Chains A and B, each alone.
Chain A
């Protein structure tokens, strides 16, 4: 039988000839998870990935090869061959020393599986108690990635990232009314507080027990973190390498200019505790930090990987991340963070006598990210009167232009930031507070 062997590590076997330019990465990604979902068999999973990736530059062109089984020599040869058809590049190698590294010890032990099972079942039973016909869903995962990087200029770095991810929720269907709730918690050191998560979900479920009807019109709306992340998609599109290099971004010449509300400060933060991308290096080996992208509404820095930064004549700041282990590092932020303010959720709700709270948005993504028009069917929308949430609103479409909303319509930023995981629609994890935005268009089917 054909045998393909995956071997972890052994970066020492990757050598560079004189005059060669490039880097090699050995990425070991491990995921353990427990899933308990109503009506289906519980599942316990373990996945391991061992990817080697090589980038090489020859005659100003970039070549790339990645594999789970090929030798370093084969990968180097393949990367070199692909330079011929590769993109023009200004990629250079970071100076990272010969033994840089941190937190490289694995935190995984087999005792974590029973711990995860116990937590998942506890939360599942808590959710079952919300209603006899509530269908719960709980997933608890631990993700650990160890990256070894070597560069043709002699640099070597090793680092490990690990975090817990708890996603829980469910729904109750009554006739053709689907009442769904979902929350995610991320934490680096231990399983996030299951009891608090259960309470938060119960509160959310309670908010939606009654239905409220409203008229179409313009409303102040508190955008909770999951939908705030949707708004940031357009901001990132204007800030990131591809749109700047192609000349499509209207912000290409706006550094140090006011582009959003003075209330808003957005960071790419690789230093924040519990962040999935918290690490001393990005995926290119560039040293990271906390960089203001927008500070008090003023554009400070772009989101650029090394190649894009050099294309624009700028210094790389550690914003090159792989969307998947076999992918090349793209221009992406570390952890996307909005600076919270002092306003509690309760204070936000008391800013207007009648307002809405939005936590879920079906289709809430822009048709044209650079333009920023977004409209989505509100799947998790609540009505608040005199600071008290009185029920759930249905059949409402929320429409905004992101840049208007975050410039002229932003009223306040909340203090209670929470994590939004990277996902199918989110290019980066984020720790985001609620945003209070006024004069938002709401179209309601009567």
Chain B
């Protein structure tokens, strides 16, 4: 049975009745219907192909300052799950003071899916054919291309959410993405480069990628001969894709309030009004960018999305909140509480993290760099709040203001606080990048996020590497 399309709204009424419990501070009930298709190809054949339907839900309650959380498969006997969540919370001792989440305006809404090209209307055969076509494009580009893997997924979610304060939401969501990974190999070793794509409303993003795939193949071949980067401090120019990862890893995670609350040391450092970076640095997080993978008009606590400025004019002006962190810090929820799946409670996450464009033309970013690194694309990044690392997909040596030759294994890293101060130019080449990966936190991975940014120039960036 499928419920891709609107169904009767008796579900919300039933859940609302089940959430009415006098003895607890808060009750939330979520039901989900998830349908996921995933295809993996290798060269000219399908490696894996799965179609999975998940149906289930969760209950979260606050009782005497303790959270009880239960998740379950199927939709049977939901009242029993509410009872169990309350019981679990009451079994926790050591906490006796009630904690009340801050009031938010109840939201009553039904949100239907609006797509440009709906992946659910594209046959599996056509999806496979597209991946295999790109594989052929890459393999015919050069004889040193050893293998091409393709990955595609789409995930349709139909959600119902109520809380005990009058919110009732029915929502359809879509997430799709993937990548084409090209591996070259010669007697010296292997190198790889990929093309990634993603969207929350358009299967069309996987079409017309021939030129990008061909370029990725040629880059993978060129990287075979690239020498390993020499570790040290460099002036680095990062392209918009990598700049977006930088914003996400280097500052976005630090802005998540669940990492700050209860930490007196960090709160002393992350006070509103603190200077962070150059005067023209503007970083914000938005859930309202239709089509981006970070599009989230209402979060998983039923809070409507708002654009939230994190750094404006080089000054810390905001942070990302759930209802709980906002209550504890005396601020307002920002619509950033997200859960990957009904198996998880919502936690503070980014949506689409954006660096606003600056005024510096792309070519001017390289001016005066005697020896530096131009880093493009990303194989991902990681942070612990203070430190960050991102893995550039491509790196090139800059000599006397000119990009000269490729390098391999560029790992750019640093301290968040000092690196933001070392941004000396923000490019005007603002680019919307939508990849097929995702963000991981507290076991919830990959959560769909986006990052849009211009190129950046960063001084004294620490780059790892052997051959010192």
Contacts and interface: CB of A to CB of B under 8 A. Distances in A.
Interface of A: 1-7, 34, 37-51, 64-70, 78, 82, 85-88, 113-114, 117, 121, 133, 135, 171-178, 180, 216-218, 242, 245-248, 250, 326-328, 360, 362-365, 367-368, 370-371, 373, 375-377, 379, 395, 397-401, 423-425, 441, 443, 445
B344 to A, nearest CB: 9
Contacts of B7: 2
B345 A245 contact: no
Given A4-B74, A367-B391, 18 more contacts: A2-B3, A5-B74, A44-B69, A44-B92, A64-B50, A67-B53, A68-B74, A87-B47, A172-B265, A176-B386, A176-B415, A248-B147, A250-B190, A362-B389, A363-B380, A364-B389, A371-B189, A399-B411
Contacts of B386: 173, 176-178, 379
Given A68-B56, A69-B53, A113 B88 contact: yes
Contacts of B14: 1
Contact of B411 (A44, A121, A250, A397): A397
Contacts of B136: none
B384 interface: yes
Contacts of B74: 4-7, 50, 68-69
B165 interface: no
A246 B147 contact: yes
28 contacts: A4-B55, A6-B73, A38-B263, A40-B261, A40-B324, A41-B65, A41-B324, A43-B68, A43-B345, A45-B345, A47-B72, A47-B343, A64-B49, A67-B53, A70-B53, A85-B128, A88-B46, A135-B263, A171-B263, A175-B265, A178-B266, A360-B384, A363-B411, A373-B408, A377-B414, A423-B443, A443-B232, A445-B233
A250 B183 CA distance: 13
Contact of A41 (B3, B99, B387, B408): B99
Interface stretch (B297-305, B361-369, B460-468): B460-468
Given A172-B265, A370-B190, A41 B48 contact: no
Given A246-B149, A376-B411, A395-B462, A217 B468 contact: yes
B409 to A, nearest CB: 4
Given A69-B73, A87-B46, A87-B48, A377 B468 contact: no
Given A1-B8, A5-B74, A375-B411, A44 B465 contact: no
B89 A39 contact: no
Given A6-B73, A45-B70, A117-B93, A1 B465 contact: no
B71 A48 contact: yes
Contact of A441 (B328, B381, B465): B465
Contacts of B383: 362
B50 A42 contact: no
Interface string B121-132: 000110010000
Contact of A39 (B75, B261, B409): B261
A3 B74 CA distance: 8
Contacts, number: 302
B209 interface: no
Interface string B331-355: 0000000000001010000000000
Interface string B386-413: 1111111100000000000000110101
A231 B350 CA distance: 30
A68 B34 CA distance: 11
Interface string B71-95: 1111110000000100011011111
Contacts of A328: 48, 50
B465 A86 contact: no
B73 A50 contact: yes
Contact of B76 (A5, A70, A379): A5
Contact of A362 (B52, B191, B413, B440): B413
A114 B88 CA distance: 10
B73 A48 contact: yes
Contacts of B115: none
Contact of A363 (B54, B73, B413): B413
A375 B407 CA distance: 14
A78 B51 contact: yes
A248 to B, nearest CB: 5
B173 interface: no
A85 B191 contact: no
B382 interface: yes
B258 interface: yes
A226 to B, nearest CB: 13
B67 A42 contact: yes
B66 interface: yes
Contacts of A425: 440
A44 B409 contact: no
A177 B418 CA distance: 11
B231 A377 contact: no
Interface residues of B, number: 109
Counting from the closest, the 6 A-B pairs by CB-CB distance are A39-B262, A363-B389, A6-B74, A375-B464, A173-B265, A443-B231
A184 B65 CA distance: 27
A271 B418 CA distance: 49
Given A49-B343, A86-B49, A328-B48, A216 B324 contact: no
A37 B14 CA distance: 34
B109 interface: no
A46 B384 contact: no
Interface string B1-13: 1010001101100
B92 to A, nearest CB: 5
Contact of B55 (A68, A360, A379): A68
Contacts of B466: 399-401, 441
Given A41-B66, A78-B51, A2 B258 contact: no
A65 B48 CA distance: 12
A218 B231 CA distance: 12
Residue among B11, B50, B408 with the most chain A CB within 10 A? B50
Contacts of A326: 52, 54
B379 interface: yes
Contact of B462 (A68, A177, A424, A445): A445
B190 A175 contact: no
B228 interface: yes
A169 to B, nearest CB: 11
B75 A5 contact: yes
A32 B458 CA distance: 46
Contacts of A216: 231-232, 468
Interface in B154-213: 183, 185, 189-192
Contacts of B183: 246, 248, 370
Interface in B253-293: 258, 260-266, 268-269
A48 B124 CA distance: 31
B345 to A, nearest CB: 7
Contact of B409 (A6, A113, A373, A424): A373
Contacts of A121: 94
B295 interface: no
Nearest to A441: B466
B257 to A, nearest CB: 9
A443 B463 contact: yes
A249 B415 CA distance: 36
B43 interface: yes
Contact of B382 (A250, A362, A373): A362
B42 interface: yes
B262 A327 contact: no
A36 to B, nearest CB: 8
A365 B391 CA distance: 9
Contacts of B191: 368, 371
